[in-house]
Amino acid sequence: MRMDLNADAGESFGSWKLGNDEELFKYVTSANLACGFHAGDPLTLYKSVRLCKQLGVAVGAHPGFPDLRGFGRREMAATPGEVYTDVLYQLGALSAFLRVEGLPLHHVKAHGALYNLAAKDAATAKAIAQAVHDFDPGLPVVVLPSTPLEAEALALGLRVVREAFPERGYAPDGRLAARGTPGSLIHDPEEAARRAVRIVLAGELEAVDGSLIRLEAQTLCIHGDNPNAPQIARRIRQALEAEGIEIRAF
């Protein structure tokens, strides 16, 4: 059995530093790099790509809403056309640095409020999927299972990679619990590792209300802005490898 560990990363901006990507990237196998809209800047993007190359981490794009102040976690009233062009723009930005470093773009995963909106709104989901398809129809799209984004990506013939979150709480409907609500964030590495093993081996997890939800995942996400992200990633990797699971990029 194999499993990818991905990290949302490259989210510093100017002199403002967020996360510890240098340590985190030692334990993950793919990274979703901010492309300058919700976080990141050209120099951060360049350094992040070079760090991924140095450590053998597959590079994915992490397009979000143009909302630096809100870190891309505030839903915006964007038209499908705006979503399409914003995603396309961000894929192009990252691809410039990948081209210089001789690396391929490995996948695409929407960020924050854009990811959550595509999990419930078909028009937004279609715009994201269309942008990825038009940029490169061979690019995989990381999705929350059983959502409009998964359906729209599959309709266009894109490969989907289903994602689960061992350090985030789930609502009973299988979507992520809203940040700020009880149980929505997990900072304990041991708890995150326990949840990761259960997701991978049993395909299930407790929602924040105690109910049981089914989860199918080919990749597990660790948020780089979690203050314990490197410790969580290390402990999850150790726990999965102890169960005989091979950790590698999808």
How high is the pLDDT of residue 133? 98
Q: What is the pLDDT of residue 138?
A: 98
- Tens of pLDDT, residues 104-114: 999 999 999 99
pLDDT computed for residue 73 by the predictor: 96
End-to-end CA distance of the chain: 12
pLDDT, position 204? 97
Provide the mean pLDDT of the chain: 97
Q: Give the mean model confidence (pLDDT) for residues 43-59.
A: 98
Residue 175 banded pLDDT, cuts 50, 70, 90: confident
| Structural domain count, the chain | 1
Q: For residues 237 and 247, what is the distance between their CA atoms, to the nearest angstrom?
A: 7
| Arithmetic mean of pLDDT, 24-29 | 98
Q: How far apart are CA 21 and CA 78, in angstroms?
A: 30
pLDDT per position as a tens digit, 158-173: 999 999 999 999 999 9
Domain that holds residue 18: 2-247
- What integer pLDDT is reported at residue 221 of this predicted model? 98
Summarised one tens digit per residue, pLDDT across range 238-247 is 999 999 999 9
Is-contact 35 94, C-beta < 8 A?
yes
This prediction has a pTM of 0.95
What is the C-alpha separation between 193 and 61, in angstroms, rounded? Answer: 26
What CA–CA distance (Å, rounded) separates 120 from 149? Answer: 8
pLDDT score, position 64: 98
pLDDT for 183 equals 92
pLDDT in tens, 131-145: 999 999 999 999 999
CATH for 197? 3.20.20.370
pLDDT tens-digit readout, 147-156: 999 999 999 9
In this predicted structure, the answer to whether residue 26 has a pLDDT above a threshold of 90 is yes
State residue 200's pLDDT score.
98
Give CA–CA dist 233/31, Å, rounded: 12
Given a cut of 90, whether residue 49 has pLDDT beyond it is: yes
Residue 87 vs residues 63, 203, 237, 250: alpha-carbon distances, Å? 6, 31, 31, 22
| pLDDT at 249 (0 to 100) | 97
Q: Could you write out the three-class secondary structure of the chain?
A: CEEEEEEEECCCECCECCCCHHHHCCCCCEEEEECCCCCCCHHHHHHHHHHHHHHCCEEEEECCCCCCCCCCCCCCCCCHHHHHHHHHHHHHHHHHHHHHHCCCCCEECCCHHHHHHHCCCHHHHHHHHHHHHHHCCCCCEEECCCCHHHHHHHHCCCCEEEEECCCECECCCCCECCCCCCCCECCCHHHHHHHHHHHHHHCEEECCCCCEEECCCCEEEEECCCCCHHHHHHHHHHHHHHCCCEECCC
